[in-house]
Amino acid sequence: MKLLVTGGAGFIGSNFIHYWTKKYPEDVIVNLDKLTYAGNLENLRAVENSPNYKFVQSDIADEKPVEKLFASEKFDLVVHFAAESHVDRSILESDVFLQTNIIGTHNLLRAALKSKTRFHHVSTDEVFGSLEKTDPAFNEKTPYDPRSPYSASKAAADHLVRAYFHTYGLPVTISNCSNNYGPYHFPEKIFPLFITNLLEGKKIPLYGDGEAVRDWLYVEDHCSAIDAIIKSGKIGETYCVGGNSEKSNREATDRILELLGKGEEMIEYVADRPGHDRRYAIDATKIKNELGWEPAVSFEEGLKKTVEWFQNNEAWWKNIKSGEYQDYYQKQYGK
Ligand code: NAD
Ligand code: DAU
């Protein structure tokens, strides 16, 4: 198979490329990524010289290069990760979220339609809104109720993907996944920010009362869920993917502090995120019953592995925090 992976230089996309090349070494992967602040080719060092891997730097919101790429390569499958992904950034500056997440997705859909290329869209549980403590978890039938510019733009993208299935018969699948964590997680998100701050001896900013809840999934489990959907998912269907591992931010923070041997005096309670979604939780019954997928890594094991990864890969996150990682493309490709 020849896959187009968009956003493959980001957190989940790069983990997916590592997962896929290990499991299906005969497949060819073209990684289309703009290399925004969140794209880092250092995540892909292990595959960059493989004859079955190619990197293309381009913006999915630019229609022409996307069309050209589809015309010059015959893809069997698109796995679409590329997005602006950070809620706090969407609150400060939403324009680029609309450009990439909506217009970019639409450009890819239109190009995929010309060649009827199978399209897997990677989406988020945030499109369903916010749960109260006792509400049942989100499932595939939960009505959309996005509440941040990020989640609204992802919801729009999901609707466009479904529209291309119903209107034009494009073979699509969608996954709506809960919070991921693991290697190569960009240190603006809560876990990598807190782990790296603590490794640097800095305080960690917990929003509001620290009682917002997220459902955590180790990133490799997200990759195996996408794999199951690609291989056995039903065309036109959506699958909710989650870790069955709800933790309040304070609970998760306490585990991180414990793993790093630090005390709660490192926590700094700061102003809450505007419109902060209180709780996300996924009911992953459908993907379990229909595709036999379940998470393999427990929260305790995944968090331990993640903390160890950040301890062992100091250069990776220090380069990001200092801004040096953005020179890598130039060094590698001489552009
Ligand atoms: P990320 O921010 O780490 O990576 C995004 C990647 O997309 C980067 O490499 C970036 O350079 C690239 N990109 C951004 N704009 C682009 C553009 N216009 N053209 C081409 N490339 C562009 O994001 P992530 O956390 O890896 O998330 C990947 C996908 O998974 C996103 O669609 C996100 O909505 C979804 N998702 C994330 C999570 C999570 O917990 N991180 C959970 C569920 C779903
Ligand atoms: O649910 C899936 C989503 O998970 C993905 O769609 C998003 O792309 C991804 O970024 C993530 O969104 P969250 O907003 O849940 O992740 P974030 O790490 O930004 O925040 C997690 C929780 O931690 C949230 O309740 C806000 C809180 N937080 C976050 C940061 C960055 C803090 O308390 N302090 C912080 O410094």
Range 294-299 average pLDDT: 98
**pLDDT given at position 227:** 99
Confidence of residue 215 (pLDDT cuts 50, 70, 90): very high
Which ligand has an atom closest to residue 269 CA? 2
- Of the residues 19, 53, 150, 280, only one is catalytic, namely 150
* Residue pair 33/9 in contact by the 8 Å Cβ criterion: yes
Is 125 marked active-site?
Answer: yes
Pocket of ligand 2 (CB under 6 A): 85-87, 124-126, 178-179, 189-190, 193, 205-207, 212, 214, 249, 273, 280
Can you read off the two tokens belonging to residue 112? 């995929």
Ligand nearest to the CA of 125: 2
Asked about 126 being catalytic, the answer comes back as yes
- pLDDT value at residue 324: 83
Atom of ligand 2 nearest to the CA of 148: 14
Q: Is residue 268 helix, strand or coil?
A: strand
Cα(first)–Cα(last) distance of the chain, in Å?
Answer: 30
* Confidence tier at 323 by pLDDT (50, 70, 90): confident
3-state secondary structure labels for all residues of 179-219:
EEECCCCCCCCHHHHHHHHHHCCCCEEEECCCCCEEEEEEH
* Ligand 2 closest atom vs CA 207: 33
Pick the catalytic residue from 33, 42, 84, 126.
126
Q: Copy the structure tokens of residue 142.
A: 């939960």
pLDDT band at 333 (very low <50, low <70, confident <90, very high): low
| pTM: predicted TM-score of the whole model, two decimal places | 0.98
- The predicted model gives 228-246 an average pLDDT of 98
Query: Which residues have a Cβ under 8 Å from the Cβ of 22 and sit 6 or more positions away?
Result: none
Report the candidate in 69, 3, 58, 64 with the shortest Cα–Cα distance to residue 33. 58
Provide the pLDDT confidence category of residue 84 given band limits of 50, 70 and 90.
very high
Question: Where do we find the tokens 């403590």?
Answer: 133
Mutational pocket test of ligand 2: of 273, 280, 282, 306, the residue with most ligand atoms within 8 Å of the beta carbon: 273
pLDDT reported for residue 325: 82
Ligand 1 in contact with 61 (CB < 6 A)? yes
Q: Which two tokens stand for residue 164?
A: 């291309």
Q: Which domains does the chain have, with CATH numbers?
A: 2-333 (3.40.50.720)
Amino acid at 279: R
Task: Place 309 in a pLDDT band, splitting at 50, 70 and 90.
Answer: very high
Percent of the chain with pLDDT over 90: 96
At 327, the pLDDT band (50, 70, 90 cuts) reads confident
- Residues 258 and 275: their CA atoms lie apart, in Å, by 30
CB atoms within 10 A of CB 295: 22
Distance CA 251, CA 257 (A): 10
- pLDDT (0 to 100) of residue 328: 64
**Ligand number, closest to the Cα atom of 203:** 2
Question: Above 80 in pLDDT, residue 189?
Answer: yes
Is residue 54 over pLDDT 70?
yes
Cβ contact 144:124 at 8 Å = no
Please confirm, yes or no, whether 150 is among the known catalytic residues.
Answer: yes
CA distances, 268 to each of 156, 199, 205, 289 (Å): 35, 16, 5, 42
CA distance 154 to 24: 29
pLDDT above 90: residue 236: yes
- Residue 335: pLDDT above 60? no
What six digits make up the tokens of 6? 């968009």
**Best of 16, 36, 178 for a ligand 1 pocket test (most atoms within 8 Å of beta carbon):** 36
Amino acid making up residue 121: H
Average pLDDT in the chain: 97
152-166 mean pLDDT: 99
How confident is the model over 261-277, as pLDDT tens digits?
A: 999 999 999 999 999 99
Q: Write the single-letter amino acid at 241.
A: V
